[in-house]
Amino acid sequence: MTEMVYGTQPVREGEPIFPKWWRTVDKWSMTCILILFAIGLLLGLAASPPLAAKNGFEPFHYVMRQAVFGGAALTAMLITSMLSPLLVRRLAVLGFLVAFVALLGVPFFGTDFGKGAMRWYSLGFASVQPSEFLKPGFVVVAAWLMAASQEINGPPGRMWSFMLAVTIAVILVMQPDFGQACLILFGWGVMYFVAGAPMTLLVGMAGASIFGGMLAYDKSEHFARRIDGFLSPDLDPTTQLGYATNAIREGGFLGVGVGEGQVKWSLPDAHTDFIIAVAAEEYGLVLVLCIILLYALIVVRSFARLMRERDPFIRLAGTGLTAIFGVQAMINMGVAVRLLPAKGMTLPFVSYGGSSLIAGGIALGMLLAFTRTRPQGEIRDILRGHLR
């Protein structure tokens, strides 16, 4: 007999890795990710030639680099998605430790590339942003600690995860990188809520976040300048937000036409932080809605599959990765339409960027690994058993 059944999923003894992976992986989410990457290359063809010309490169220099980084990201995603949750956790812990040490060294050995924030290591041929690789590792470590705290005589994992989240957020704020700090705290808060945090604690955290924002506004000129620009009723048309807002307005429903957009000639970050403005201007609201739908499908399908998961670690880690992925996309697009203050955050798997693409590939590979169907009864089967 070559097949055993336990719970709701069959276990096939001796099944090769690739067929098993293909049978259990969420193909809808993976397809959406591939489409997002293809859209990123398409928009890179439109957005990056002006910057390449300005820097003395070939017209499609940044597109070719994005294809190389994207290929590495997709490879990392596919390999990671084939791993077991236990192996993902072990590798994520090691990766987190390396990224955390690298983050501590940024103030001493990093560079700001003239952007006023010390976030990168310059390797000459490329740059590395440790905080991008830190996010997926932190989510897995925090989920592991929270899950361990639910065991009998388990460690105070929730408190340890909170202290770790605050420590990382403080380090990021000192760069300054308020956007990544907010993502870390948000991801931790979502996991803590799913783990059963009391509402009073969450309300207290919200109050502490507001107080921290007020303190940052008072002490950080960088933070205050962005908040003032966001709250100002008059938008300077010569700023990045001004150019992006005008491009979105000019694009209308169907866009001005492929290659006819003008915002890419004015925005220095048209291929990264404001890539959605290029999409809106040249392809219109239609493409923007398609991009939003793709992100929504990934988030909704991931949450739906995680709701059936019995293992608390997998459920928490998958929830944190999904929440950070979805919220980062919302923040990037929200900034472009001036619903949020400028954050300097890329659009996952669409924007140009080596660190963001590869780290995003690893994070989504982890998510695909956690949302694979496994030989187990669904969590609703447990609830029904308790109710009987």
Provide the phi-psi class of 11: left if phi over 0, else alpha when psi is between -120 and 50, else beta: beta
Domain presence at residue 367: yes
Highest mean pLDDT among 257-271, 301-315, 331-345: 301-315
Confidence (pTM): 0.88
| Contact of 270 with 350, CB cutoff 8 Å | no
Q: How many beta carbons lie within 10 A of that of residue 328, not counting itself?
A: 26
Reply yes or no on whether the pLDDT at 358 is more than 50: yes
Domain presence at residue 121: yes
Percent of the chain at pLDDT > 70 equals: 89
Q: What is the DSSP letter of 263?
A: G
Reply yes or no on whether the pLDDT at 3 is more than 50: no
Residue 214 host element (H or E): helix 199-219
Domain presence at residue 386: no
Banded model confidence at residue 210, pLDDT cuts 50, 70, 90:
confident
In whole numbers, what is the pLDDT of the chain averaged over residues?
Answer: 85
d(CA 136, CA 133): 6
pLDDT tens-digit readout, 62-96 = 899 999 999 999 999 999 999 999 999 999 999 99
| Contact of 278 with 247, CB cutoff 8 Å | yes
Domain presence at residue 385: no
pLDDT tens-digit readout, 90-132 = 999 999 999 999 999 998 888 877 676 788 888 877 789 999 9
Read off φ and ψ for residue 6, nearest 5 degrees: -140, 125
Domain presence at residue 51: yes
Q: Which residue has the higher pLDDT, 4 or 73?
A: 73
Q: How many beta carbons lie within 10 A of that of residue 145, not counting itself?
A: 24
Q: Is 323 exposed, middle or buried (0-12, 13-18, 19+ CB in 10 A)?
A: buried
Please identify which residue in the block is written with the tokens 């957005």: 47
Domain presence at residue 70: yes
How many domains does one find in the chain? 1
Highest mean pLDDT among 4-18, 159-173, 214-228, 258-272: 159-173
Domain presence at residue 254: yes
Q: How far is CA 66 from CA 76, 230, 246, 277, in A?
A: 15, 31, 26, 18
Read off φ and ψ for residue 232, nearest 5 degrees: -65, 130
Cis peptide before 312 (omega within 30 of 0): no
Domain of 66 in residue numbering reads as 3-379
Domain presence at residue 384: no
Banded model confidence at residue 386, pLDDT cuts 50, 70, 90:
very low
